[in-house]
Structure 1
Amino acid sequence: MEKKDNTFKIGDLVMVSPDLTLLNDWIVGKVIKIRNNPFVGIEIAIEDDKGRIFFGEKNYFKLQKENDLCTR
């Protein structure tokens, strides 16, 4: 099984799971902070285009790819 590289860096555009945001859909935001939390591991903080900030374990985030854009 191939392991995906989930390396994030400040400034990356990422998608955030509704499991973290409690919204209906995945949202896109820019990574503003990355830290190593001794209790949960890597923790990512993002800010979306509305100025909202979400943070949590890295497994709630995925790098945004062009084909991930919603075209509703």
Structure 2
Amino acid sequence: MLQIGDSVLISPYLTMCETWINGVVIDVENNPFRGIVISAQTTDGNVFFSVEDDFKLPVEKDSKQSET
């Protein structure tokens, strides 16, 4: 579950951009009708909110992966 302060990627469905964009979770609400609703703010100040499925944690690349 996402928490306030987590870095997230915001779905193009919400942002109308071509790719997922970075943001920070500013609110997490347990809505009785929609379930978990996340609000996230981008670096330029835009705020997007929607159900949890429209946000994801950024994938961190492991620098120690072995090549096969």
Indicate the TM-score class for this superposition, using the shorter chain for normalisation: 0.7 to 0.9
Aligned length: 61
**TM-score w.r.t. length of structure 2:** 0.83
Identify unmatched segments of 5+ residues in structure 2. Answer: 62-68
Asked if 1:47 corresponds to 2:22, the answer is: no
Q: Deviation per CA, 1:13-54, whole angstroms, max 9, x where unpaired?
A: 000110122222110100000001111100000000000000
Cα distance in structure 2, aligned partners of 1:58 and 1:26: 14
**What is the aligned-residue RMSD (CA, Å)?**
1.0
Identify unmatched segments of 5+ residues in structure 1. Answer: 1-6, 68-72
Look up the SS of the partner of 2:13 in the other structure.
helix
* Larger Rg computed on CA atoms: 2
Look up the SS of the partner of 1:66 in the other structure.
coil
Identity, % of aligned positions: 44
**TM-score w.r.t. length of structure 1:** 0.78
